[in-house]
Chain A
Amino acid sequence: GAVVSQHPSWVICKSGTSVKIECRSLDFQATTMFWYRQFPKQSLMLMATSNEGSKATYEQGVEKDKFLINHASLTLSTLTVTSAHPEDSSFYICSAAGTGVTDTQYFGPGTRLTVL
């Protein structure tokens, strides 16, 4: 149980284009979903927290107009990187929690984004 999927697993795009990453909880309903980014040999950095049906809460320093998050259902959240630039290249990982912020988070396999 507690499986989280992400799609795509990797994506390469040109600078200036937008990229959408999907995160799905496959066998449970996720009240809260989280988006992280991870640079090589570093730990996870939380970008935003989203609750189903409401606006995401972004961490300090994360541009909400650049990283659009939609949590339209209890099993799906999307992250759209708008007007991507090479500095946005990173490993993006989502996680899902069943009942709230303090519940155990289950992570997706991650999406490697490369912006040329």
Chain B
Amino acid sequence: EDQVTQSPEALRLQEGESSSLNCSYTVSGLRGLFWYRQDPGKGPEFLFTLYSAGEEKEKERLKATLTKKESFLHITAPKPEDSATYLCAVNQAGTALIFGKGTTLSVSS
């Protein structure tokens, strides 16, 4: 069974068209939820760590939020350089990261 599910798998936006990516999780004893950005042929780049429901973090055009069952990555007025695959990962006590399959975002000008 999937413990981390990201949706949609792919998202195409026009420049300036705001949207949200979803990450739902079913793990118990969540220790942290992580968002990464990955460009083709490169390693994931760390964006945010969220630890408790209600927590929010922002960085430039990105804002991550967390509830007890899911996290959202909101992208406000995206630009073409925001095009990438966004990965969500969670960890439970004593385990390594569990990754979702990612959402591939394409922003056209």
CB of B87 within 8 Å of the partner chain: yes
CB of B59 within 8 Å of the partner chain: no
CB of A74 within 8 Å of the partner chain: no
Contact, CB under 8 Å: A105 / B42: no
CB of A7 within 8 Å of the partner chain: no
Contact, CB under 8 Å: B36 / A107: yes
Q: Which residues of A60-116 have CB atoms within 8 Å of chain B's CB atoms? A: 91, 93, 95, 101-102, 104-110, 112
CB of B54 within 8 Å of the partner chain: no
Interface of B is mostly: loop
CB-defined A-B contacts under 8 Å, sample of 21: A2-B46, A42-B101, A43-B99, A43-B100, A43-B102, A44-B99, A49-B96, A93-B44, A95-B43, A101-B91, A101-B96, A102-B31, A102-B91, A104-B32, A104-B34, A105-B34, A107-B43, A107-B44, A107-B45, A109-B42, A110-B42
Name B residues whose Cβ lies closer than 8 Å to a Cβ of A. 31-32, 34, 36, 41-46, 49, 87, 91, 93-97, 99-102
